[in-house]
Each structure stands twice: as structure tokens, then as C-alpha cells.
Structure 1
Amino acid sequence: MFKAFFILLFLHGLVLNTFSSSSSEEEDDDGSSKKESEEHPLKGHGVHWGYEDQAAWSSEYSHCSGKSQSPINIDSRRAVYDPKMPPITLEGYDLTGDDSALTLLNNGHTLQLSLPNTMHIVSGFDSEYRAAQLHFHWGTKEVPGSEHTIDNVHFPAEIHVVHYNSKYADLSKAANQSDGLVVLGGFIGIGLHENDNYEKILAALTDVSTEESNTEIPGFNVRHLLPNNLKRFYRYNGSLTTPPCFQTVNWTMFNDTITVSRRQLAALEETLKAGRQQHLNKNFRTPQLLHGRQVFASFTDMPTGAGRGRLGGFVPSPGSSDFLSRGDILAIAFGALFAVTLLLFLLFAYLQHKKYSKIREDLRQNVIYKPATKEES
């Protein structure tokens, strides 16, 4: 029992050390980090940029060092409830049966779906905003890839639906205007079941696996890509999360998560390529400093289910265990195994002690005391 205990203890430490080193190498490996997705049709004015060199973005794009950059970490405990924020109303999002197909593009930065400007936000903001495109941010199985975080928690992926102010001719004209853009963002988590709505896009991934490839998919109800509840959200003023980082975005991040299956997310993480043979993944910018900006919330009530945050706390979404790396999971497993082994060892030691105590007691009971006689003395 002693040998088994110390052997297991040795193996426990060895495995944890191995996976800890492996996880560190994965995080330091910039070779698999790909370019950041675009929020607008401008392509960096011809200057190459990528996620791996985001610290150098400001040398070419001055806005990237501004004080109102995105994404951010949303501290749910500090978000200010604003009862005056009107609910968001969407129109034209149901494209089912629409004769015009939607163009799906792998632009080397992200997976992007072009949207017709008949889709628009009719209430929730001071102006009407028309849809232009939607795209995704994701990581790998070991590294969750959402851009925004809630209470420093990263989600596996994030969807952005980009809209521009209807008073401007198009997205490119609105991109550098102070009231130009509205982005609706949603956190994507891991669920137990396939998401049929996301499958309408993911089923076409092999057709756009190479950079700059595109395909057409039939219209569907884009509304179903967002959470069911659009009344619970956070809002703040920020920027494009890619060069040129214009600080012209009114961000709305929905509180409730959308879920896809592990298989569906793996398809997004592993199918697309950027460049020749490099995987397109980890296409997210790190959270930026608030610099005194205020984050507002449209709700104050307690959560009623998984994946719903609140002011004063955050509840992880279904499948949140997928946010853990393999090393973390193994550490937990071996930690539990170590604890069980230690308990068994202590129980064994206790039983042995009890056994030998009983033997000694029995031996004492079998000794007959006989007083010595004078002669014997």
C-alpha cells in the first residue's frame, strides 16, 4: 500500500509537469495564431497586419493606441444599470425564401457572411442601422477565442453582426464617423446538441477552406444566430477590433449565450486556412483598457438559468467545462485520484493501528497475575 501510494504520487507530479509545459508551449506558439478579423471593408490600407503582431498595430494605425479601444473585459459588478436603454428591435432578419443568396467568404482573417441592407435595427438607438456583414472570432480547443470577456472569462467563440448608420451611403463611408457603426455581439458556448441554425453556415466550410475563397448559401433566418433573449445586454462605446481601429462603434454584447456542439466548433477551428497551409484560428484581439469608460447594462435581475449573467456575478454557460484545457482537466482528475488514494492510505493506517491495538489488548488479558510467595521472593 505504501509503495502504491508513493508511485501514484510520483506519476501525478510527472504528468502535471508534462502537461503544464505543453500548455505553455501552445500559448507561446505564434505560428498558429492568425490574422484578426475585419469589422469593415477597409483592408488596412494595404499594410499587412495580423493577430501575432497586434502590439505593433499602433505604429501603422494611430487609432489602435486610442483610449476607447475594443474588445474589453466586462466587469458585471461594475456595470451600471440604465433603465432608459430601449429594447432592440430587428427587422428583415428572416431571409428564408429570399431569392438572393448570401456570400460566405474566408478572407484570411475570419469567416464572413455578407448581409443585405434590408436587414436593419429599427429601435434601440438614436438612428436606424442597416446590416452589412457578420463574422466570427474563435480559438482552439485549448484556447477559447472570444474577444470580449465577462468577469475575465473567455468563451469558445464570438459572433459580431455589423451595422452602419443609414444616413451614410455604405459601411466604408460610416466606418470613421462618430455615430457610424453598431455591432451586436454574442458569446458562443458549447452545448450538448447540434445547432441547426449555425449548421447552415458551418456546412459550407469546406467550400471556403482556402484564403480568399467564397461560396453562396441560401438565405435563412439570421435572427436565430443571436440569443433568444435580446433584452439582456451590456453596452459601451468602443472601436473596431482590427486596424485601423476606428473608435466609432456602439457595442452591444448580449448576456445570454448561444450554444453549438463541440463538433461544430471544431469544424470552425480546424477547417479554414490562412495563407498556404496555416490554420485560421485564434483570430481575436486581447481585451483593452477601459480608460474610464462606463459599461451599462439593461438588466439587474438574478439569473434564471445557465449562461445568464447578472450585475454582481456571472454564471457560466452550458458546456463551460470545455473552457478548460486538457492539462487543467488532467490536473483535476489526478488531484481527485490523489485525494482518494490519500484517504485510502489513511483508512488503511487506521485499520492497521486498530488491529494491532486489539492484539496487544488481548495479550495483556491472557497474562495471569500470580502474587509471589515469601519463598519465591
Structure 2
Amino acid sequence: MLLHMFLILHLQVLVMASSSSSEEDGSSERDDEHSKGSSHQHQWGYHDQDTWSSAFEHCSGKSQSPIDIDTHKVFYDPRLPPIKLEGYDLTGSPALTLINNGHTLQLSLPSSMRIMRGFDHVYVAAQLHFHWGTTEVPGSEHTIDNIHFPAEIHVVHYNSKYANLTEAASKADGLAVLGGFIGIGLHENDNYEKILSALTDISIEESDTEIPGFNVRHLLPNSLERFYRYNGSLTTPPCFQTVSWSLFNDSIRVSRRQLAALEDTLKTEHNKLLSKNFRAPQLLHGRKVLASFHTVSTMGKPREAPQPETQDNNVMKTSGGEWHILAITFGVLFAITFLVFSMYTYQQKKKYSKFKKDSKQNVIYKPAAIGKDIDQTSVTIT
């Protein structure tokens, strides 16, 4: 009897332990799925950008990316420190993984690559990727004065105070992205060829390959001193508004053939061509775009702490400048008119004096004879 009761109690303990274990496993799986971010739980594409906000709340925020950079409205900020990179030369390093994830062409980067200067913290590289269009539709995400470039490169870094990209992505100071505009040149770009030559190996969605290490710094413009800076977001779901963007003014050049390889090789779901993978420019909503250099509009007018100006102030500044020009113009015209009038008056006086003198010389006066009538007096003008 005692043995029977012991067996029953033992079975109950086993059942309870099994149930508890199942619950813990399920909870662990849910936590892991949550940590991956909501973009893994929902399907999204570039053809339905207008619906992103319905599944990803951050996509409707007021600090979204990309944006149009209006060069007439940027503010020169001399306090922006130069960007200093470290560990970008991966020549001789282990092979790098190149991925077609169905949304873009992505290259995984080692944590030895870092931004050492240019921000308040050191930022660690995680990956780089590209955005492009078609032959007819240029595909950069950011635009300059509403002009698209053929393609754009993004080098994604996360703040070194966080453990990894996943943790940093949702933090206010989590991410820093270096962006470069890609244009078409006359010659092949040997540095880009190290990536583009491997595209046929990953043409299918969710495929990857390995390529030899190389100097990733050569994928960016020669000069990193001239750049635009603003606060924005990821340009894909979940659209976290945690990115400090640096967009270089100088562009990178590839050949038309190389750009065509990017536009025409990779496939996405259902074997469709992966192209036009860029998000439309988003509204600024009052954000300031800073520049590390003088643009046409900021030449000689550094604004360290830009403040919005009232319409009345703008009118006064404009009117004052215009009145100054008008005053000078009228002054010059008045001086010329006065000079011409003086010369004309002098000439007329001189002519009249001569005429009067000549008239006196040509008059002969003959006095009348005494006793004669006054009407006998004659005046002869010769």
C-alpha cells in the first residue's frame, strides 16, 4: 500500500516538472523572438511603404529617414569633429560574409572596425548594405536638393557601450550610420568589384557567400571631412528613431556595367528582381541638418546655435539691403544728372553772352537832326 502511494506521488512530481519545463521553454522562445525585433514577425516590402506604420509604430514618427537635404537650409557647424575610422583595412583578415537577405545586399563586418572620433562615443561596425534603383529610376534613399543618385551605401555602427547591434538598435544613442552617394563614372571601381563580382553566387534570396577581406575604407569617398549630420531613423522596419546620420558630400563612382550588376542580378521572393529598394524621403518636422563645411547658403555665415527667425526680421533684413542699394543707385544718378545740367547751363550762358556782344557790334546809331521830328531817327541793323 505504501509502495503504491509512493509511485502515485512520484508520477505527479514528474508531470508537474514536465509542465514547468515546457512553460519555461515557451517563455524562452517568446523572449528570443521578441529580441529579434518586430520586423521578423511581419512581412514588409518596398512596394507597400505606406502601410509600414500599421505594423511598425515607429515608422510614423517625426524623426524618420531618409530625408531630402536642402543645401539652402543647412546650418554650418564648426563644432562637428572630423570622422576618424580605425580597423577598416581588412586585407589579409578572415573572409567576409556577403548576404542577399531579400531586401538588400549586405556585408557583415567585424567588431574591429570602429569610428573612433566624430561622435560622443566610440561606435562599432556591424554591417554595410546598399540601396539602388533601375536604369530609369535612380535609387539613392537620401536626396540632395530633391535629386536622387543612382545608389547609396550605408555602413552601420552601434554604440560601444551596448553589447551588440540588437541591443543598441532601440536606444536613443544606439546607432551611427555613414552614408555615401554612388554615381556613374567612366572607369571600373576595383574596390567595389570585390563585392560585385560575387553577386551571381548569391542571386537567390537568403543565400550567402564568402569573399576575401579588403580595405573597406575604399568603399567610401576619398575625403571624409565634408559631411551632413542629422538625427533620424532606420530606413526599414522597425524604423527605430535612434540613428545619427553622417552623409558625405563627395560621391563614389562606379562604372555603368558595375551599377547594372547591382540592379539586375539579385532576386527576392518568388524569384522577382530585387531593385528599387529605397524608401521615399520623409518630412523633417523641424529637425536641423548640419554641415561640417560651408555650403553656398552658409558661406561666411556660421551658425553655431541656429534659431528660427521671424518673418518680420527677414523682411527688415531684406528691405534694409535693398534700400541700401537703391540709395547708392539714386545718388549716382543724381550726381550724373546734376553734372549734365551744370554743363548745359554753362554752355547756354556762354552762348548768350557771345550773342549779346555780337549784337552790340552790329548796331549803328544815327542821331536825328536838331529840329527834326522823332520819327526821322533811323536805326540800321547790318
Shift in Å at residue 277 of structure 1? 2.0
Distance 1:156 1:177 in 2: 31
Distance 1:41 1:110, change over 3 A: farther
SS of aligned partner of 2:284 = coil
Larger Rg belongs to? 2
Indicate whether 1:188 and 2:199 are aligned. no
What letter matches 2:223 in structure 1? Answer: N
Contact (CA 8 Å) 2:76, 2:295: kept in 1 or not? no
CA deviations on 1:82-140 (whole Å, 9 max, x unpaired) are 00000000000000011x11000000000000000100000000000000000000000
Indicate whether 1:173 and 2:161 are aligned. no
Match of 1:72 among 67, 72, 76: 67
Indicate whether 1:241 and 2:235 are aligned. yes
Shift in Å at residue 161 of structure 1? 0.0
Shift in Å at residue 211 of structure 1? 0.1
SS of aligned partner of 2:192 = helix
Match of 2:107 among 106, 110, 113: 113
Contact (CA 8 Å) 1:160, 1:183: kept in 2 or not? yes
What letter matches 2:236 in structure 1? Answer: T
What letter matches 2:272 in structure 1? Answer: Q
Specify the alignment match of 1:22 in structure 2: none
Distance 1:311 1:223 in 2: 29
Indicate whether 1:276 and 2:270 are aligned. yes
Contact (CA 8 Å) 1:51, 1:284: kept in 2 or not? yes
SS of aligned partner of 2:58 = helix
Specify the alignment match of 1:331 in structure 2: none
Distance 1:265 1:275 in 2: 22
SS of aligned partner of 2:259 = helix
Shift in Å at residue 276 of structure 1? 2.8
The structure showing larger relative contact order (alpha-carbon pairs under 8 Å, at least 6 residues apart) is 1
**Structure 1 residues without counterparts, runs of 5 or longer:** 1-39, 303-309, 313-377
SS of aligned partner of 1:263 = helix
What letter matches 1:84 in structure 2? Answer: R
Distance 1:255 1:115, change over 3 A: same
Distance 1:133 1:197, change over 3 A: same
SS of aligned partner of 1:273 = coil
Aligned pairs for 1:120-269 within 5 A: 120-269=114-263
Contact (CA 8 Å) 1:41, 1:171: kept in 2 or not? no
Identity %: 73
Contact (CA 8 Å) 2:71, 2:295: kept in 1 or not? no
Contact (CA 8 Å) 2:180, 2:252: kept in 1 or not? yes
**Alignment coverage as a number of residue pairs:** 265
Indicate whether 1:63 and 2:58 are aligned. yes
Moved beyond 6 Å, runs of 4+: none
Specify the alignment match of 1:289 in structure 2: 283
Contact (CA 8 Å) 2:150, 2:182: kept in 1 or not? yes
Shift in Å at residue 43 of structure 1? 6.4
> What root-mean-square deviation, in Å, do the aligned CA atoms of Structure 1 and Structure 2 show?
1.4
Shift in Å at residue 275 of structure 1? 1.4
CA deviations on 1:317-339 (whole Å, 9 max, x unpaired) are xxxxxxxxxxxxxxxxxxxxxxx
Aligned pairs for 1:77-116 within 5 A: 77-98=72-93, 100-116=94-110
Distance 2:293 2:36 in 1: 34
Shift in Å at residue 46 of structure 1? 1.4
SS of aligned partner of 2:270 = coil
SS of aligned partner of 1:279 = coil
Normalised TM-score (structure 2): 0.68
What letter matches 2:58 in structure 1? Answer: H
**Structure 2 residues without counterparts, runs of 5 or longer:** 1-34, 300-382
Normalised TM-score (structure 1): 0.69
Shift in Å at residue 257 of structure 1? 0.2
Distance 1:43 1:273, change over 3 A: farther
Distance 1:258 1:41 in 2: 33
Contact (CA 8 Å) 2:56, 2:239: kept in 1 or not? yes
Distance 2:61 2:198 in 1: 38
